[in-house]
Chain A
Amino acid sequence: MKFGVVRFPGSCDDDDALHAAARVGDAVMLWHRDRDLQGVDAVIVPGGFSYGDYLRAGAIARFAPVMEEVAEFALAGGLVLGICNGFQVLCEAGLLPGALLPNASLRFVCRQVSLSVVDADSPFTSRCEPGDRLSIPVKHTTGRYYAPGPVRVLLRYAPGENPNGSQDDIAGVCNEQGNIFGLMPHPEHAVDPLTGSDDGLAIFESMRACVAGGVGA
């Protein structure tokens, strides 16, 4: 299993994503100007402030050369995980439905939140059970998810935990086929009990199980 982590100018969680992925498989960094995905089995678009978040978060990053390849990879069924800014990029690129708006509080939020697994029948949540609680941190200013139509929700903030005012407490959504997943919380920051929780590993382990021919594909 080989993960590729995209690095944009302004990415800041790329190293943590690489570290998290390396806990369950091989992991390589993909430079934003490269078009070679190096034969990876899954792509992670990490958190941060790609291209300074100019105009709108994620609006510029989606035109990076590597994103053309990622889009092609995703449309061919490849696994793509967008975390925080990566989620914003995937929405701006039209790979996921909806958009991320400024937090209802207008404040940067940084805290551990409890997430509820809504749909465990996906390549990203197959190692969970519906109703499982995951303790994973959020840290963002533009995380209020909004979609005008129905979407496939994999994770919600547990009751009372919504940090940004997102619609229906949505924390993470995937496309209809289930191979593209975006979420605001940071599973890559929750892979070691030393830092409070390793619940985020379930996401990466699910992806590995999917690539290995397991459930949820």
Chain B
Amino acid sequence: MRARVLVRPKQGILDPQGQAVERALPALGFAGVRNVHVGRLIELDVEDPAQLPKMCERLLVNPLIEDYQIVEPADDSIGRSAGAQLPGPGGGGGG
């Protein structure tokens, strides 16, 4: 099964990457952007999705500094084409 793990910096921990992006967008003329956070998207095929939380806790995520969300099954069409509409917050980048 195709699964997807969304990894985000934990709330309250300084996220300089998010801040840098947040500062860059207005510089390009995009107004009204706030609370930008940059995380990681991990896609994987797994035979036993029940193992995903353990995989996250042991390797994919450092729970001290990151939060994660498991999305399975992942719809492979999402985020594959440039400019695709992503459902909800935190979806991966297009393309």
Contact = CB atoms under 8 A, between A and B. Distances in A.
Given A55-B59, A59-B59, A148 B16 contact: no
Contacts, number: 30
A35 interface: no
B16 A56 contact: no
Given A55-B59, A59-B59, A98 B16 contact: no
Nearest to A62: B59
Interface in B19-75: 20, 59-60, 62, 64-65
Interface stretch (A11-19, A37-45, A100-108, A128-136): A100-108
Interface residues of A, dominant DSSP: loop
Interface in A49-95: 55-56, 59, 63, 92
A99 B65 contact: yes
A146 interface: yes
B14 A92 contact: no
Nearest to A56: B62
A165 interface: yes
A101 B15 CA distance: 9
Interface residues of B, number: 10
A101 B65 contact: yes
Contacts of A104: 14, 16
A106 B62 contact: no
Contacts of B20: 106
Interface residues of A, number: 17
A146 B65 contact: yes
A104 B14 CA distance: 8
B13 interface: yes
Interface in A153-168: 165
Interface in A134-180: 144, 146, 148, 165
Contact of A105 (B13, B16, B62, B65): B16
A214 to B, nearest CB: 34
A25 B26 CA distance: 57
B17 to A, nearest CB: 7
29 contacts: A55-B59, A55-B60, A56-B62, A59-B59, A59-B62, A63-B59, A92-B62, A98-B64, A99-B62, A99-B64, A99-B65, A101-B13, A101-B14, A101-B65, A102-B17, A103-B16, A104-B14, A104-B16, A105-B16, A106-B16, A106-B17, A106-B20, A144-B14, A146-B13, A146-B64, A146-B65, A148-B64, A165-B14, A165-B16
Interface of A: 55-56, 59, 63, 92, 98-99, 101-106, 144, 146, 148, 165
**Those 6 A-B pairs whose CB atoms lie nearest each other, nearest first:** A99-B65, A99-B64, A106-B16, A104-B16, A99-B62, A56-B62
Interface of B: 13-14, 16-17, 20, 59-60, 62, 64-65
